[in-house]
Amino acid sequence: MIIDLANTSTRKIQDALTATRHRMGGPATGKVLTLIVVTDEAAQYDAIRAATEVAREHPCRILGVIARGREAEPRFDAEVRVGESGPGETVLLRMYGQLAEHADSVVLPLLVPDTPVVTWWPGTAPDRPSEEALGALAQRRVTDSASGADALGTLRRLAGGYLPGDTDFAWARVTPWRSLLAAALDQPHEDVTTARIEADSGSPSAALLGGWLSVRLGVPAEITESRGPGITAVRLTTKEGEIAVTRPDGRVATLSRPDQPDRQVALHRRSTAELLAEELRRLDPDEVYYEAIQRFAKGPETASAPADPAAPAAKSAAKPRAKKS
């Protein structure tokens, strides 16, 4: 069911949501969080579609905030969707004039009571997400540094403005790589002396993966350019030979270890919905992401102290995030 409300108010939106739930036989909200999507008109379709797909795993109220007509008279229109291709509730808020600068005043009354709030910027990321009005409402703030023209510059700015709760899709994209590398390093091996990552030019995911490897292994991580897509290889040098994960096609990786046969592993490039679903599985601060982004911000000349070889630090850090109840 879709309800269009022109030049409306939060009270009318709440009434529409309540009436629709009763009409559909579900008076309770049944939501585990509120997802605020800060986007523009051009990108809202793909972003809301991804959020709606994720709502099947994380039932939530999706609030799409779209700024339009900044020179117009302050007002906002709403499009309320309930039961449309997903179990959640979606409200698109198109804000005009100066009201777009105070979107939090409209969003605040629409938050699901007593549930966490996640704010997602699918487009250009703010330098300090926690200082944005809609970011200040959230326990978790999700950006995508790869969506901007200067991805590595955006990543450095995010590192400078980091507060617990910040995260980035560039980090979620390397979760399968970290899991595979941690599994490889969990087997007996000589100390890693150098690390090299091959990726397409300006990849923020490669930069974060390099920061993570540098922190965990205590060696600088060199990043070299490849033809992509995304990260195409990680090569770790030891006295015995090279431990390598190569993925030239973006779908299947080959794990190579000294004196062992090569092994192929599925390592596909994940969709926006898959990345968003991963970020919604945890709402606490991600300390490992913080270590990686700060290490990247320090530059390639600084390396952390080698990790205790007796502690499986790399493995524990690379495990997929546990789902929070």
Tokens of 289: 């992401």
> From CA 154, how far away is CA 148, in angstroms rounded?
7
pLDDT of residue 311: 36
- Helix H or strand E segment including 312: none
User: CB-based contacts of 11: which residues, under 8 Å, 6+ apart?
Assistant: none
pLDDT of residue 72: 83
pLDDT of residue 86: 63
> From CA 10, how far away is CA 65, in angstroms rounded?
13
Residue 186 sits at the vertex; the CA angle it makes with 271 and 278, to the nearest 5 degrees, is 20
The residues that bridge with 81 in the sheet, in sequence order, are: 2, 90
Q: Which residue, among 233, 152, 170, has the nearest Cα to 198 in the 3D structure?
A: 233
> From CA 141, how far away is CA 68, in angstroms rounded?
23
> From CA 234, how far away is CA 243, in angstroms rounded?
8
CA 150 to chain centre: 18
* 8 Å CB contact between 323 and 281: yes
Query: Pairing between strand 166-168 and 140-143?
Result: parallel
pLDDT of residue 267: 94
Q: State residue 103 phi and psi, 5-degree precision.
A: -60, -25
Amino acid at 275: L
CA distances from 253 to 16, 102, 174, 205, 269 (A): 49, 47, 13, 17, 11
pTM of the model as a whole: 0.86
**Residue spans of the chain under pLDDT 50:** 27, 301-325
> From CA 204, how far away is CA 93, in angstroms rounded?
31
User: CB-based contacts of 113: which residues, under 8 Å, 6+ apart?
Assistant: none
* 8 Å CB contact between 267 and 232: no
